[in-house]
Amino acid sequence: MTRTVTLALHPAFRVAPVRPRTFGAFVEHLGRCVYGGIFEPGHPAADEAGFRTDVLDLTRELGVTSVRYPGGNFVSGYRWEDGVGPVEERPARHDLAWHSTEPNTVGLDEFMAWAERAGVEPMYAVNLGTRGVPEALDVLQYANAPQGIALSDARAAHGHPEPYGIRMWCLGNEMDGPWQTGHKTAEEYARTAAETARAMRQEDPGLELVVCGSSSSQMPTFGTWEATVLAETYDLVDMVSAHAYYAEKDGDQASFLASADDMDHFIDSVVATADHVRAELKAEKRIMVSFDEWNVWYQHRAESRPPEGDDWPVAPVLLEDTYNAMDAVVVGSLLISLLRHSDRVASASLAQLVNVIAPIMTAPGGATWRQTTFHPFALTARHAAGEVLDVRIEAPTFANERFGTSSAADAVATWDETAGNLTLFVVNRDPGRELDLAVDLADFGGLSLVEALTLHHEDPYAANTQDAPDTVTPQSNDTIRVEDGHLAGALPAISWSVVRLHRS
């Protein structure tokens, strides 16, 4: 059986420009993401505002471009005004979503100060679970209105005279989910979202609004939810959200490695539904996808340690997955799927950023380290530039329980014609076979190899820890070479690679 992977690509066959917002992340008031994550006053690396500068450094290294905040399930019970004003006067509240106590030490102003330090664009979610139009308008005016009205003057009094200018706003979170505080039917949510979007646009017509799509393609309402919601909100919003998490189940490596097949189908289905509504409404614009929660998440094993005897703890250990080499390969393959759909995925957010199912981990009062999943994200964010190319793949297949058969390899490429840089992102998803890579580069002119890195470990369950933070890192792949316009090399089983080339 052949084990050769052949990639066919041409500089004229383009999907869309690389979108910087593809490389977004997510900060929710959940576990130790905020408190003990981005914010830990008294830590040796904390700045004068209490933000951990070591986390800021890793956030910048990760290449994050935007951050969704403050939730997540948390937002459906959140009162934004609790988190502004003098810290000593802010009320503590029970967070029903994660059965925790929210001290409100960090709120909108603090988050915006952190975002400025991190160099990221904010993406703010409003509460449409227990609240509605008035409260959404209030937080919008607080954040974006010039001085001269009560809420913008309050912002100025709190030390921020200039508007924040937040452009991306999420209209609630996962409102199709029965677990959501204030869960609604599609019809109920569509009306609330439409009314809220209309009012927010009256305040600021230039906003980019994201309406809630399905929280999973496995939801029984998937498809009909999007159709119902978009029929009511189509002219008022810009994007519809999609959320997906993946995990190895019962030792089924093969199905897990093929997870991007599901992401591809999910995106294609949401796009098809949105375009059907567009046709029915005879609308001109196209609704884009905001894939604003995605990751590997082992919901059955993620470490959670609420303090004993405290039923409503502040910032307990929740959902602190330790990721292995195979998880990182899957994250790399999901990034390939997102890039391949750059014509319709306008924004994406890896959930989450720190400690909670995150690429960055921290020890209280101690070190930070990069999880295995940090590396494919950081390298893709750093090197994807220019135009996403339409890559055609010929590869052997492998059997798996979930999808039947899947391509053993997947790939995407970006071409920056001005700089003369071609970058290939390639994954070997086969759990047991090394693959030979072959690419004809003749149509790009004289390309030379700059670098080939492969993330792989002989033990697919090897992980990075505080004591061994570099167990799984990308290594130079010396088998990959370019000769006479042809690229060739070896891709180990369960591996993700980035290959950089330059036209001199």
Report the catalytic residues.
Answer: 174, 293
Computed on alpha carbons and rounded to an integer, the radius of gyration of the chain in Å comes to 23
Orientation of helix 259-281 relative to helix 224-233, angle to 10° = 40
Q: 73 CB contacts (<8 Å, ≥6 apart)?
A: 28, 30, 97, 98, 173, 174, 179, 180, 181
Q: What is the DSSP letter of 471?
A: S
Q: 166 CB contacts (<8 Å, ≥6 apart)?
A: 122, 123, 124, 143, 144
Q: What is the DSSP string of 261-313?
A: HHHHHHHHHHHHHHHHHHHHHT-SS--EEEEEEEEE--TTT-EEEPPTT-SS-
Residue (of 329, 149, 144, 156) closest to 246 by Cα position: 329
The answer to whether residues 339 and 281 touch, using CB atoms and an 8 Å cutoff, is no
Residue type, 7: L
If one counts every other C-beta atom within 10 angstroms of the C-beta of residue 467, the result is 8
Both ends of the chain: CA-CA distance in Å? 38
Residue (of 379, 369, 371, 357) closest to 54 by Cα position: 369
* Spatial separation of the C-alpha atoms in residues 438 and 391, rounded to whole Å: 13
Residue (of 480, 438, 433, 486) closest to 1 by Cα position: 433
Sheet strands side by side (includes 14-17): 14-17, 387-389, 409-416, 421-428, 495-503, 447-455, 475-476
Pairs from 382-385 (Cβ < 8 Å, separation ≥ 24)? 382/63, 383/414, 383/423, 383/498, 383/500, 384/18, 384/22, 384/339, 384/414, 384/423, 384/425, 385/18, 385/414, 385/416, 385/419, 385/421, 385/423
Helix (H) or strand (E) holding 326: helix 325-340
Q: For residues 80, 30, 341 and 343, what is the CA-based torsion angle, rounded to 10 degrees?
A: 10
If one counts every other C-beta atom within 10 angstroms of the C-beta of residue 82, the result is 16
